[in-house]
Amino acid sequence: MPPHHPDKSARYLSALQALKDEDRLRCLQPRVGLDFASNDYLALASAPRMKNAVLAALDLGTPVGAGGSRLLRGNCEEHERLEAEAAGFFGAESALFLGSGYAANFAVLTTLPQRGDLLVLDSLVHASIHEGARAGRAEFRVSAHNDPQSVDNTIRDWRAQGGTGRVWIVLESLYSMDGDFAPLEELVAIADRYDAFLIVDEAHATGVYGEHGRGLTAPFEGRENLLVVHTCGKALGAAGALVTASAVLRDFMVNRCRPFIFTTAPSPLMAVAVSEALVILREEPDRRERLINLIAFANREISRRGWRPSASQIIPYIVGDNARTMGLASALQARGFDVRGIRPPTVPAGTARLRISLTLNVSEDDVRALLDALAEETACEPQ
- How many separate domains does the chain show? 2
147 and 205, same structural domain? Answer: yes
Nearest to 95 by CA among 80, 107, 106: 80
Nearest to 312 by CA among 201, 200, 173: 173
Catalytic residue among 105, 143, 173, 176: 176
328 and 199, same structural domain? Answer: no
Nearest to 155 by CA among 127, 183, 192: 192
177 and 78, same structural domain? Answer: yes
Catalytic residue among 172, 202, 276, 338: 172
Active site residue 211: no
What pLDDT shows up at residue 22? Answer: 87
366 and 276, same structural domain? Answer: no
What's the CA gap between 310 and 49, in Å, rounded? 31
Nearest to 126 by CA among 220, 183, 204: 204
Active site residue 172: yes
215 and 127, same structural domain? Answer: yes
What's the CA gap between 119 and 148, in Å, rounded? 14
Nearest to 244 by CA among 292, 205, 201, 289: 201
What's the CA gap between 100 and 39, in Å, rounded? 14
Does residue 238 fall inside a structural domain? Answer: yes
Does residue 175 fall inside a structural domain? Answer: yes
Cα angle 314, 221, 242; round to 5: 65
What pLDDT shows up at residue 326? Answer: 95
Helix (H, G, I), strand (E, B) or coil at 123: coil
Range of the domain at 319: 25-41+313-380
What's the CA gap between 234 and 171, in Å, rounded? 18
What pLDDT shows up at residue 26? Answer: 87
Catalytic residue among 105, 152, 204, 221: 204
318 and 343, same structural domain? Answer: yes
Active site residue 145: no
Catalytic residue among 83, 234, 312, 322: 234
Query: What's the first-to-final CA gap in the chain, in angstroms?
Result: 60
This prediction's pTM? 0.93
Active site residue 204: yes
Active site residue 176: yes
Find out whether the peptide bond into 309 is cis, omega within 30 degrees of 0.
no
What's the CA gap between 329 and 268, in Å, rounded? 37
CATH number where 240 lies = 3.40.640.10
Domain end among 262, 283, 304: 283
Does residue 3 fall inside a structural domain? Answer: no
Tens place of pLDDT per residue across the chain (383 aa): 566 666 889 899 999 999 998 888 888 888 889 999 999 999 999 999 999 999 999 999 999 999 999 999 999 999 999 999 999 999 999 999 999 999 999 999 999 999 999 999 999 999 999 999 999 999 999 999 999 999 999 999 999 999 999 999 999 999 999 999 999 999 999 999 999 999 999 999 999 999 999 999 999 999 999 999 999 999 999 999 999 999 999 999 999 999 999 999 999 999 999 999 999 999 999 999 999 999 999 999 999 999 999 999 999 999 999 999 999 999 999 999 999 999 999 999 999 999 999 999 999 999 999 999 999 999 876 54
What's the CA gap between 191 and 118, in Å, rounded? 12
Helix (H, G, I), strand (E, B) or coil at 140: strand
Pair 358, 308: CB distance under 8 Å = no
63 and 31, same structural domain? Answer: no
What pLDDT shows up at residue 36? Answer: 98
114 and 90, same structural domain? Answer: yes
Does residue 297 fall inside a structural domain? Answer: no
Find out whether the peptide bond into 345 is cis, omega within 30 degrees of 0.
yes
What's the CA gap between 123 and 101, in Å, rounded? 18
Who contacts 24 (Cβ-Cβ below 8 Å, separation ≥6)?
A: 322, 343, 344
Active site residue 275: no
Catalytic residue among 201, 202, 276, 338: 201
What pLDDT shows up at residue 319? Answer: 95
What pLDDT shows up at residue 381? Answer: 60
Catalytic residue among 126, 230, 276, 361: 126
329 and 251, same structural domain? Answer: no
